[in-house]
Amino acid sequence: MKLVKLIKLNNLQYNANRDPAFYRRPVNDEFRLQAMLGGSGEAKARFSVGDEVLCESTVKLPGGFDCKFSYDTPGTRIGVLTIEGAGEQFRETIRIDVLKHAPIG
């Protein structure tokens, strides 16, 4: 059984090939990263951007990892989701785009 069944960013299934506009948020708006996990036992999940760990927890399998965060400055950041458990290791890079202003129209 796969360790990671699904990754969602802002309640949309994450796909690195999708237009990043789907996942963008303005400054101070909350991002939500979720990972749906399968298997049995426990898994350690961590989401970090650069040297800063935004969320870290131990998840009982099957279960879910939930991470909420926001930024007060605009820009693009690259985060890394790392999950280890059930004899597997999973690593995914996640693009985080923060807009200066909310889109109009």
- Statement: residue 1 has pLDDT above 80: no
- pLDDT tens digits for range 13-36: 999 999 999 999 999 999 999 999
pLDDT for the residue numbered 59: 97
pLDDT score for 93 = 98
What is the fold of 4-99? Immunoglobulin-like (2.60.40)
Q: Is 81 exposed, middle or buried (0-12, 13-18, 19+ CB in 10 A)?
A: buried
Burial (CB count <10 Å: 0-12, 13-18, 19+), residue 62: middle
For 92-105, write each residue's pLDDT tens digit.
999 999 999 988 87
- Identify the pLDDT of residue 105: 72
The structural domains of the chain, with segments of one domain joined by +, span: 4-99
The per-residue pLDDT for range 22-79, each reduced to its tens digit, is 999 999 999 999 999 999 999 999 999 999 999 999 999 999 999 999 999 999 999 9
Question: What's the mean pLDDT in 81-91?
Answer: 96
